[in-house]
Structure 1
């Protein structure tokens, strides 16, 4: 039996196992789900052991755990390949926008629907099953393999830098492939050349010691909610330019070559607007939409909290207002410097009558860019072209995977994104789903990747 015939035979079981994993609500952002993240880690450790990996263990960090396993019997002349993924998921709220319950996954229309189905439980399961297929049919792997799966990617991997530094010898590898990643479309592969970095923060504005009666005190004291909106409005011009002093100082200009590479990728603005439901495109002037999405820095408000949030009216003057903000960064911006620039801007633009502070949220990511001619990327390109029957696009992403820059800094290895999700699968949104046909295709791709690496590329 070949690995691929094994995958065909076992696919019903593999689909059921993915359903089982999705049922674990491993939401890393919510303290009440800490036991569930650990339960997901234990499930994954047991599953990689069943697949034939050795030394599987749940390893603690200062926060959520990681899962490590290896199989190192291919020989010293074969490369050691690390495969990365994550088993934590985003919060599923608002629950009422889901067609079916987020942690009671369903199969509909050839897809699995549930939180984490695409990001990243389906992706993380894919290489596990490829390894199992090789072990069951060949009795061994063609290369040395290490699995490194984490439980805190969705909160920015705040404890991974310390963990990776402490476990550098254990994690040492010649190549790294990330099972957390995207393909362009179900029939079109891609190689992602760059990811954005990220800094996350919260602006907190305070006024009176508690909420006040707006009829008795409105006009007499400052309103923190209004003050917050004034601060936020000062951060971006109406045309989309970020107006924080120094924000663009470290941004490397886009070369003509990079702009031409981006322009070669098919883009239809009407399709993009239909996909997002937005009435028009908007952003930093002087750049086309795809350049802004892939290769220019951003500043976005992710959430606002102040005053009465319930139904009906409650006439209060709120005591506090908060805004969650993330910036997606590009080379050579540094998260800590951007945070300092925003904090200084808030201090300069705080209206009278209130106080304001800027709090740093856990997690950070430096911009990540793969060098031209990267050998592991070249092998990935060959495999994708073979599996999909067409050449991959060379693209960039506006998203961030913080641990990839950590692994580069500590291990000196650039990771290659080799995931099989798609950006229309409602990642981080209600009704997340994962295509079953692509789940199967990704398993074949990982089998062929490991075989090609074992044969010398």
Structure 2
């Protein structure tokens, strides 16, 4: 099958492909807000109809929450081709605060910016635009050759932005149907606007909320100040002791399962154009604050973290109230890497906090999820085939990179379906996902389609 004719078809069909994306973006499929339940149904229906138009046997599958969209299509008749699964999500984040948007978030449009044309609207980059790059690549293959180059299962979720409560049960119940040779996930980004990336490392996530209680009630600071234990002081001391002077986390056993980075991969990362000062400068900072003996990319891709996400206690309203609070609370998250065990770390963290409590104080804990890190095995030939295919499309060679965030679906594919996952996306750091004025570069949308066409051809060719 000719790849060049597919690429040419993508180029000529870009206006129509953009119109289809804009149509999907107009559906306000906010999964976390029950007021938009019907919109999530509409988005699923839209995708079923679009996939069906490509000859995909697609259907909407009900769940206790929002529906899944599942579709299957065969490759060329009589050929031994791989069976790929493509995953994306059609739900989007809420749009608040609405007053910070420059336009209606569900009235998407193409806008000219100093950096080029962008597609502006909620979901443009996360994840409808990314999802459609793959579907449009398939559309071009079908138009040119009458069939897709390989067997493909489409698996599109409607709850990713609200914690995916239906995902694991659905995968377990439909494991035989969903199991393929390799999963493809398009929910990540480029290293920079000219360098594509395959994400091979995802950090896990552990969330903990703690409440330290001292006196039985709030106290007058004049009558009890000094003699009574203040839970905010205790909590502040606990938090201050979670890191040492070199930025290392002090929780006992925290670094078990965290090896040094492979020298070859570290050399590749060191060769990437990344300056921590410039990266931090975009958010008004200047100096890296993690482990002092690690590079900037190591700190955000391959090293674990402990961060305070919220802290409160006492009187925080207008004016002043001289009170010793009864309670002090904090939310703390850990990003985990390699083989760190989130449940062991939870146990160790709780014991460590207990050990730092003075007399007259107690602590209660509430967990907020625990997921392990994801490591993609890049020794499989398919990874290098995909990396070369991406390199052929973009100005710079594709790189294997880490991701500071957590994408649990990759781990679910491995644990539930026994499949490796390949994470390829075309978002950029300035896409403002989850924020007002989200956008997706039109060039990323266009070259993302071309990239997937190349990757499909490479994986099929073997």
TM-score calculated relative to the size of structure 1: 0.87
Please report how far the alpha carbon of residue 310 of structure 1 lies from its aligned counterpart in structure 2 after TM superposition: 5.7
Contact 1:376 1:416 in 2 (8 A): no
- Is 1:381 matched up with 2:387? yes
- Is 1:11 matched up with 2:11? no
Indicate which of 216, 231, 244 corresponds to 2:251. Answer: 244
Counterparts of 1:60-209 in structure 2, within 5 Å, are: 60=63, 63-75=65-77, 77-108=80-111, 109=113, 110-206=117-213
How far apart in 1 are the matches of 2:447 and 2:148?
19
Please report how far the alpha carbon of residue 221 of structure 1 lies from its aligned counterpart in structure 2 after TM superposition: 6.1
Counterparts of 1:19-38 in structure 2, within 5 Å, are: 19-30=22-33, 36-38=39-41
Please report how far the alpha carbon of residue 427 of structure 1 lies from its aligned counterpart in structure 2 after TM superposition: 3.1
- Is 1:345 matched up with 2:347? no
How far apart in 2 are the matches of 1:27 and 1:224?
39
Contact 2:179 2:419 in 1 (8 A): no
Structure 2 CA distance for partners of 1:44 and 1:249, relative to 1, 3 Å: same
Structure 2 CA distance for partners of 1:261 and 1:452, relative to 1, 3 Å: closer
Structure 2 CA distance for partners of 1:296 and 1:78, relative to 1, 3 Å: same
SS in 2 for 1:324: strand
- Is 1:425 matched up with 2:428? no
Please report how far the alpha carbon of residue 410 of structure 1 lies from its aligned counterpart in structure 2 after TM superposition: 2.5
How far apart in 2 are the matches of 1:105 and 1:442?
19
Indicate which of 33, 43, 46 corresponds to 2:46. Answer: 43
Structure 2 CA distance for partners of 1:227 and 1:374, relative to 1, 3 Å: same
How far apart in 2 are the matches of 1:215 and 1:137?
81
Please report how far the alpha carbon of residue 279 of structure 1 lies from its aligned counterpart in structure 2 after TM superposition: 3.0
Q: Which residue of 1 aligns with 2:281?
A: 274
How far apart in 2 are the matches of 1:302 and 1:248?
21
- Structure 1: tracts of 5 or more residues without a match: none
Measured against aligned partners, the alpha-carbon deviations of 1:84-139 in whole angstroms (never above 9, x if no partner) come to 11223344444454444544444322112333321222111211122222223332
Aligned length: 454
Contact 1:187 1:388 in 2 (8 A): yes
Contact 1:100 1:106 in 2 (8 A): no
Counterparts of 1:322-341 in structure 2, within 5 Å, are: 322-341=329-348
Please report how far the alpha carbon of residue 170 of structure 1 lies from its aligned counterpart in structure 2 after TM superposition: 0.7
SS in 2 for 1:118: coil
Counterparts of 1:386-397 in structure 2, within 5 Å, are: 386-397=392-403
- Is 1:444 matched up with 2:450? yes
SS in 2 for 1:408: helix
SS in 2 for 1:253: coil
SS in 2 for 1:119: coil
Structure 2 CA distance for partners of 1:248 and 1:58, relative to 1, 3 Å: same
How far apart in 2 are the matches of 1:402 and 1:380?
22
Structure 2 CA distance for partners of 1:192 and 1:344, relative to 1, 3 Å: same
Please report how far the alpha carbon of residue 14 of structure 1 lies from its aligned counterpart in structure 2 after TM superposition: 3.1
Please report how far the alpha carbon of residue 146 of structure 1 lies from its aligned counterpart in structure 2 after TM superposition: 0.8
Structure 2 CA distance for partners of 1:355 and 1:65, relative to 1, 3 Å: farther
How far apart in 2 are the matches of 1:29 and 1:327?
24
Range 317-326 or range 407-416, more displaced: 317-326
Range 295-304 or range 67-76, more displaced: 67-76
Q: Which residue of 1 aligns with 2:305?
A: 298
TM-score calculated relative to the size of structure 2: 0.86
How far apart in 2 are the matches of 1:321 and 1:38?
42
Structure 2 CA distance for partners of 1:99 and 1:261, relative to 1, 3 Å: same
Structure 2 CA distance for partners of 1:94 and 1:442, relative to 1, 3 Å: same
How far apart in 2 are the matches of 1:169 and 1:26?
29
How far apart in 2 are the matches of 1:78 and 1:397?
30
How far apart in 1 are the matches of 2:310 and 2:54?
41
Please report how far the alpha carbon of residue 211 of structure 1 lies from its aligned counterpart in structure 2 after TM superposition: 7.0
Structure 2 CA distance for partners of 1:38 and 1:328, relative to 1, 3 Å: farther
Structure 2 CA distance for partners of 1:221 and 1:111, relative to 1, 3 Å: farther
- Structure 2: tracts of 5 or more residues without a match: none
Contact 1:51 1:128 in 2 (8 A): no
Contact 2:197 2:424 in 1 (8 A): no
How far apart in 2 are the matches of 1:225 and 1:351?
12
How far apart in 1 are the matches of 2:266 and 2:75?
45
How far apart in 1 are the matches of 2:121 and 2:219?
42
Structure 2 CA distance for partners of 1:256 and 1:134, relative to 1, 3 Å: closer
